[in-house]
Copies of this chain bind each other. A is one copy, B any other.
Amino acid sequence: MGIPQPSLNRLPQYHHYLNQLKAKGINTVSCSLIGLDLNLVPVQIRKDLQYTGIVGKPKTGYAVAELIAAIETFLGWNNVQEAFLVGAGNLGTALLGHERFSTFGLRIVAAFDTDPEKIGQWIHGKMVLPLEKLADLAKRMSIHLGIITAPAECAQWIAEKMVSGGIQAIWNFAPVRLNVPPEIIVHNEDLYSSLASLSWKLAQRFNIPFQQDGGSN
């Protein structure tokens, strides 16, 4: 990995922030300013941005437009990835309807499900197809990205179908660790993990654990 995972995760934040600046007509920015607004230390931002290959000017900072372009290029958001989504339920529907993904190089082209009631429906302009067709279609359409928003129980099985269809990367919203060949990129989006942090911190606060844990943060 050429870039630390945390840096990679911060890049979209910068991207969003920079777009706000651009919208305001600001066209040059320094790490100190970003840090002030985003609550990060300037050195960290500088390091993160260096991975994109952009260079700044002392005293001035970076050109906003160039920086945005550099991040987009670095993240591969310029060449759109087409994706299949499996599990046209609550969450799947939300993702299907999210236009803004296209800004980030993602276009969901079709949904798949096993529920006969769902199959054949159109959701947010995308057709729901029977799961059996996935592998074949993925191959024919050269789809490389799969999104899993089906129940945890079926996730492994779906992943295998995806792999057999030549899919290379899986964005998995089901709370299971998928067992796939090592060359397949899997990214688990575990909402329960986030929730866990949150509820722990909140519980911590209300329990008033003997000693207010330094109260540092």
Which of A's residues lie within 8 Å of B, judged by CB? 1-3, 5, 8-13, 15-17, 37-39, 74-77, 79, 81, 90-91, 93-94, 97-98, 101, 104-106, 144-145, 152, 168-169, 171, 175-177, 185, 187, 189-207, 213-217
Contact = CB atoms under 8 A, between A and B. Distances in A.
B97 A175 contact: no
B38 A199 contact: no
Chain copies in the assembled complex? 2
Given A79-B203, A190-B9, A197-B8, A98 B104 contact: no
A158 B207 CA distance: 27
A176 B12 CA distance: 10
A177 B2 contact: no
A179 B169 CA distance: 34
Given A193-B12, A201-B185, A202-B169, A90 B98 contact: yes
Contacts of A98: 90-91
A160 to B, nearest CB: 16
Given A177-B38, A185-B201, A217-B1, A11 B91 contact: no
Contact of A196 (B2, B75, B215): B75
B81 A199 contact: yes
Contacts of A75: 196, 199-200, 203
A126 B204 CA distance: 28
Nearest to A178: B39
19 contacts: A1-B213, A8-B200, A9-B196, A9-B197, A11-B193, A11-B196, A12-B190, A16-B175, A75-B203, A76-B204, A81-B202, A104-B199, A105-B199, A168-B202, A169-B202, A171-B195, A185-B201, A187-B198, A189-B194
A48 to B, nearest CB: 12
B13 A214 contact: no
